[in-house]
Amino acid sequence: MTDILINGEEKTTINVSDRGLQYGDGLFETMAVKNGKINLWEDHWQRLKSGCERLLISSPDKKLVEKEIKSLCENNNNDKFVIKLIVTRGEGQRGYCFSENQNITRILDVHTWPDYPDKNKTEGVAVRYCDTVLSENPRLAGIKHLNRLEQVLARNEWNDSAYQEGLMLNVNGNVVDGTMSNIFMVEGNKIITPDLSLSGVAGVMRKNIIKLAEKIKLSVRVEKLDKNKLENADELFLTNSLFGIWPIKSLGDNTFPKTGEITKALQKEVSKQGC
């Protein structure tokens, strides 16, 4: 059996007329599967559904997707792996115009677990600033859509292992997120993460961390963050659905030599969830 299901069928290809290819006209979710269970599935589903609504794409049937995910999980013997779900507006004629009753394309694809070193979690990661900026568009901000050229160009500004992630700034010089993660800063008993109303991806783990922080009585603020503010943080950490929380040990020329207490407390909460 294949590790890919396209509209429920075992196949590995899509038609070239699919609007996902033609225009990046779709969305995706990258999900961690551990011991046969998708972490934060309801949050992934809610984000996908809300993204579909904002892009005027019909949502797939939830029960159907859950059934397909289950069959992919049963077919996989690994303790942990990744399932990527892509939903596109489906096949279409040439031209930007779409019809009201487009049949969406639903792709589920199994990937091996990324080989992130354990020390990224314990000792922290080195982060750089990217030169590629993020554009601003309230119509697309926050959505995990398929228009990802900015992230592609940013991620490929470096190709050595000296840095584990790059931070992206918007056209006004505010830090928005990492190429594949969200960022939080700790200031006293408060955690702050950038506002994503104009650009960036609203990560499922970011949402989860905000909830967990409130649970352990930290105050949470969402606001504009510039480099100066960030570099003067007590602690800094990155979040994403696969790795959970990575402390930042250095950002550009600034070092944060020890994983702070609040970062550790949040890591503990995430690990209690099995994420």
Q: What is the DSSP string of 105-118?
A: EEEEEEEEPP---T
- Find the binder of its own copies among 1, 8, 12, 42 (CB under 8 A): 12
CB of 88 to its own copies, least distance (A): 8
Other Cβ atoms less than 10 A from the Cβ of 77: the count is 6
Can you point out the beta strands (E) in 63-147? 80-88, 105-112, 125-129
- Find the binder of its own copies among 50, 59, 98, 260 (CB under 8 A): 98
How far is Cα 57 from Cα 103, in angstroms, rounded to an integer? 9
> Which residues within the stretch 15-34 sit at the binding site for its own copies (CB under 8 A)?
15-25, 28, 30
- Find the binder of its own copies among 4, 73, 126, 220 (CB under 8 A): 4
Assess 1 for contact with its own copies (CB under 8 A). Answer: no
Q: With beta carbons less than 8 A apart as the criterion, state whether 27 and 59 touch.
A: no
- Find the binder of its own copies among 58, 73, 76, 136 (CB under 8 A): 136
How far is Cα 89 from Cα 52, in angstroms, rounded to an integer? 9
CA 84 to chain centre: 11
Assess 137 for contact with its own copies (CB under 8 A). Answer: yes
How far is Cα 207 from Cα 225, in angstroms, rounded to an integer? 18
Candidates 65-73, 138-146, 217-225, 243-251 — which segment interacts with its own copies by CB under 8 A? 138-146
Residue 274 exposed, middle or buried by CB count within 10 Å (0-12, 13-18, 19+): exposed
Candidates 5-13, 66-74, 184-192, 265-273 — which segment interacts with its own copies by CB under 8 A? 5-13
Cβ closer to its own copies: 13 or 228? 13
Q: With beta carbons less than 8 A apart as the criterion, state whether 83 and 33 touch.
A: yes
CB of 251 to its own copies, least distance (A): 20
One character per residue 183-202, x = contact with its own copies (rule: CB under 8 A) = ----------------x---
Assess 126 for contact with its own copies (CB under 8 A). Answer: no
Sign of the C-alpha dihedral, residues 38, 145, 228, 254? positive
Tell me 60's DSSP state.
P
How far is Cα 82 from Cα 84, in angstroms, rounded to an integer? 6
Cβ closer to its own copies: 83 or 191? 83
Cβ closer to its own copies: 120 or 179? 179
Task: List residues near its own copies by CB under 8 A.
Answer: 4, 6, 12-25, 28, 30, 55-56, 82, 84, 86, 88-89, 94-98, 100, 107, 109, 111, 114, 132-140, 145-156, 159, 171, 179-180, 199
